[in-house]
Amino acid sequence: MIGAITGPAGLLIAILVYFRDRATVTVDLQWDMETFGTDMDPDKTYFVVTIRNVGRRPIYLSHAHILLPPGADTETSHILLTSGLQGVTLAEGAPPYIVHADQEGMEKYAAMWWKLRATVIDAAGKCYHSDWPTKAPSWAQGVTPSFGALTKNCLCNWIRRRLP
């Protein structure tokens, strides 16, 4: 009788501990950032990818890139960010890791700015995506997506924040 009660209770506790203790990464993409008081060029604008480990286990990050949408009129499907995310380990409670890149040359993706997302890959191959953008960057001014596309982006962002 005791085994019939404690066995399933122990399994339930083990499953809950597994989901609580795993590594969870959040990724944010911000366009049109300017520099002040650094060695970077103050006349250029940059985009910044902020990576945080909000879980309870350390995670080893492999690389970061900008994911281009399927059907884009380019030869590539990713824009690799080479400014410093080669083999970074984020521990529990570690400060966010920031990857920045120059926005020069992003004008060729202006027709699909609302479909661009930052993606971070860990050592196990799991992908972590940023939210869909809802505000146009400076290099995409004048390109307006349909109301349905922006509504879909907002809805997808809202759903992603509520999923475990």
pLDDT at 21 over 90: no
Q: Which residue has the higher pLDDT, 146 or 16?
A: 16
- Token pair of 142, please? 């004048």
User: What pLDDT score was predicted for residue 149?
Assistant: 67
pLDDT at 125 over 90: no
pLDDT at 148 over 80: no
CA neighbor of 124 nearest in space, from 61, 67, 52, 79: 61
Q: What is the mean pLDDT of the chain?
A: 81
Condensed to tens digits (0 to 9), the pLDDT of residues 65-88 reads 888 877 666 677 777 887 767 778
pLDDT at 150 over 80: no
Residue 129 contacts residue 118 (beta carbons within 8 Å): yes
User: What pLDDT score was predicted for residue 161?
Assistant: 66
Q: How are beta strands 46-53 and 97-102 bridged, if at all?
A: antiparallel
pLDDT at 151 over 80: no
Q: Which domains does the chain have, with CATH numbers?
A: 21-162 (2.60.40)
